[in-house]
Amino acid sequence: MKLIMTGGGDSEHFEEIDQFFISLLQEDPKLLFIPLAGDPEHFDDGLERIQSTFSTIHFDKIEMCLDLHELEWDYLKRFDAIYIDGGNTFTLMNEIRNTHFYELLHRFLHHGGVVNGDSAGAIILGSHLETAHFGETPDENETEVISYQGLNLLGPYAIHCHYELSEKKEVQEFVKEYGFPVIALHENTAIAVIDNELRVIGEANVTLFNQGNIAVVHPSEFIKLK
């Protein structure tokens, strides 16, 4: 399994992260861009941003998926990586529910594909969506999403993006109430999870919240996820 999850900041902070992402791919890779957490009026802008972000990298192809219901394995297997863009976590999960995306994503990872999730695109990969409500600018759930279960690609770990130190108590209360550990990402940092090894990439530390325990992982450090 090869996952990258970014904290949701400006792309100017992500040069090292983007280069690490590319290092996981084969020559002339193909990328599938999924912008469904965002505003449909800005989908094309998002594609242009991704094309610009990776302008120094020779992707053989970058395509955009706007309907997960139509996504099939014969099409998905042509790609080397999936980039799930940020926006509203619940809008994105609402698009995922009642599709085969979960199964397709597992199959894609099993066959060596790389998944890169930014902000909402990272949160949905974890165990729980409640973290999207944290902070001063929380995601509003104006969708039909009732179950807050995530895609569970990291076992019990939930992902919190845009993390600020002022949110420490809020994260701790979630861990205590729900029992899920949390990986908290500042906006200018990311994690790469390859198999069960977590590596911090970027400019800031990553904080892991467990029951009664907080661990800080510094850039370039590795830990094993339990």
Q: Which residues contact 78 (CB under 8 A, 6 or more apart)?
A: 30
- Give the position of tokens 């590319």: 22
pTM over 0.85: yes
Q: Look up tokens 């192809």; give the residue.
A: 61
pLDDT value of residue 59: 76
Predicted pLDDT at 16? 82
Is residue 226 predicted with pLDDT exceeding 80? no
pLDDT tens for 104-144 read 999 999 999 999 999 999 999 999 999 999 998 899 999 99
Distance CA 60, CA 85 (A): 20
Bridge partner residues of 213 (DSSP): 210
pLDDT at 15: 78
pLDDT digits (tens, 9 = 90+) for 76-88: 999 999 999 999 9
Confidence (pLDDT) at 11: 67
Residue 27 or residue 146, greater confidence:
146
Alpha-carbon gap, residue 134 to 163, rounded angstroms: 9
Q: What's the pLDDT at 77?
A: 96
Structure tokens at 172: 């701790």
Please name each of the domains of the chain with its CATH number.
2-224 (3.40.50.880)
